[in-house]
Amino acid sequence: MPAPDVINLMSDTVTVPTPSMRHAMATCEVGDDVFRSDPTVNKLQEMTAEIVGAEASLWLPTGTMANQVAIAVHTHPGQDVIAGSWSHIVNYELGGVAWNSLCQLNMVSDEGGWITADRIKDAIRHQSDHTPGTGLVCLENTHNRRGGRVMPLEDLEKCADLAHNDGIPVHLDGARIWNASRASGVKVSEYCSKVESMMFCLSKGLASPAGSMLCGKKDFIESAHRMRKRFGGGLRQAGVLAACGILSLTEMVERLDEDHRNAKALARAINESGTLMIDESTVETNICIFDLPEKYGIDAFKFADIAEKNGLLVTYMGSRLIRLVTHKDFDGAWIPDVVERIRKSLVR
Ligand SMILES: *Cc1c(COP(=O)(O)O)cnc(C)c1O
């Protein structure tokens, strides 16, 4: 297929539902999920719990709501929430930790792509007459803003052990945990077994139009169910969306390998063209974050603007950082077109 007029590499959220998802939406059985009587939602929740090895799971409309509901359930007002300074929870959830849960963030470095245990050790604060006490540790895998890096299972385990030694629960923002699993060969159930709660998105590389799953123990999921309603996230015939989620898990996981191959090939091709620069060894999944060399005299925001006019949609992640995300609606055969559109956007 020749490249389209606009190649969209802004995010894997731009993926449109597959024909089988469209069909499932039209034909699935539905009920009122606020009364827990939507059979398709129930099926997805049971299936998810089984696959990830959790006691239970809950469907929520967005990943942000799933993270925020988890934080609200785990914490008490006034506590510390430890999270990476480059994490989604800190950067892209509009201060929700403060707004929704009345907690303060205690940010630690995750510059290398994940939080290391020694950082958590330094950051944990016990409750006293002076200190708030740490209510929750949040981890992220894969790491969005650090280019889809995969947090190694051993690091995840070390972080979780440290928190657990102090009786602190751990939440894993696994928006792209299936990408992490395909790239590392570690089962999602292994990541999930180390933490009190894990959320993942159906709406990114797995191509559902909406939806995220929150996984954990039965009691936790019961509390999350009530919290979801409080957040305004109790949907009625949500089965039309859950039907897509079921297909995300059964039909869309293995093909993530293709996105990973395309991201690596894209990184190499752009590097070889000599325009933007990336350390190829950091491209482990479907995200490439490039440096925009200063010699071009424009910042990443401006670059994204110019690239759009040349038929390439990208996002800027900082003044000199440009993100390209591969996904099922991107064909690896278009890589030369991407390289050419970048080149065109940089000549002055
Ligand atoms: C996308 C994303 C989320 C939030 O998901 P939404 O469905 O967009 O609200 C949370 N964490 C990470 C790491 C993400 O990439």
Position 1 scores a pLDDT of 79
Give me ligand 1 centre to Cα 129, in Å.
Answer: 36
**Do residues 114 and 137 lie in contact, with contact meaning Cβ atoms separated by under 8 Å?**
no
- 2 in a structural domain: no
Examine residue 1 and state whether it is found in any structural domain, yes or no.
Answer: no
Mean pLDDT of 77-98: 98
Q: Using the predicted structure, report yes or no on whether residue 90 has a pLDDT greater than 90.
A: yes
| Six token digits for residue 246 | 């079921």
Threshold 0.75, pTM exceeds? yes
Number of compact structural domains in the chain: 2
Here the CATH number for the domain that contains residue 37 is: 3.40.640.10
Residue nearest to atom 6 of ligand 1 (CA): 63
Question: Which of 14, 59, 60, 64 should be mutated for ligand 1, with most atoms under 8 A from CB?
Answer: 64
Rounded to whole angstroms, the Cα distance separating 243 from 27 reads 9
Which segments within 79-159 are labelled E, that is strand? 80-84, 104-108, 134-140
Q: How far is the CA of 207 from the centre of ligand 1 (A)?
A: 14
- Tell me the per-residue pLDDT of 300-327, one tens digit each, with 9 for 90 and over: 999 999 999 999 999 999 899 999 999 9
Hey, whose CA ends up nearest to atom 4 of ligand 1? 63
For residue 190, pLDDT beyond 80: yes
Q: What whole-number distance in Å separates Cα of residue 44 and Cα of residue 247?
A: 9
One domain, residues 86 and 232: yes
Residues 108 and 121 both lie in one domain: yes
Within this chain, do residues 126 and 24 fall inside the same structural domain, yes or no? yes
- As a whole number, mean pLDDT of residues 105-134 equals 95
pLDDT of residue 116: 95
In a domain, 106, yes or no: yes
pLDDT digits (tens, 9 = 90+) for 18-54: 999 999 999 999 999 999 999 999 999 999 999 999 9
Q: Which domain holds residue 98?
A: 19-251
Q: Are residues 212 and 304 in the same domain?
A: no
What integer pLDDT is reported at residue 213 of this predicted model? 98
| Same domain flag for 201 and 67 | yes
Is residue 201 within 6 Å of ligand 1 at its C-beta? Answer: yes
**In terms of domains, do 243 and 259 share one?**
no
The pLDDT-based confidence of 111 (bands split at 50, 70, 90) is very high
Nearest CA residue ID for atom 5, ligand 1: 63
Mean pLDDT of 214-223: 98
Over residues 75-88, mean pLDDT:
98
Please report the DSSP string for 254-314 in residue order.
TTHHHHHHHHHHHHHHHHHHTSSB--GGG--SSEEEEE--GGG---HHHHHHHHHHTTEE-
**Closest residue by CA, ligand 1 atom 2:** 175
- The CA distance from 89 to 58, in Å, is 19
Q: For residue 88, how far is its CA from the centre of ligand 1 (angstroms)?
A: 7
Q: Measured from the CB, is residue 140 less than 6 Å from ligand 1?
A: yes
Q: Is 345's C-beta closer than 6 angstroms to any atom of ligand 1?
A: no
Is the beta carbon of 93 within 6 A of some atom in ligand 1? no
Query: What is the phi/psi pair of residue 203, to 5°?
Result: -95, 5
User: Does residue 348 have a pLDDT over 80?
Assistant: no
Q: Are residues 210 and 269 in the same domain?
A: no
Average pLDDT, the chain: 97
Cα of 348 vs centre of ligand 1, distance in Å, is 36
CA of 20 to the centre of ligand 1 (A): 24
Percent of the chain scored above 70 by pLDDT? 100
What phi and psi, each to the nearest 5 degrees, are found at residue 161?
-60, -45
For 107, other C-beta atoms within 10 Å of its C-beta total 18
Q: Is the CB of 150 under 6 A from ligand 1?
A: no
The tokens of 140 are what? Answer: 């992220």
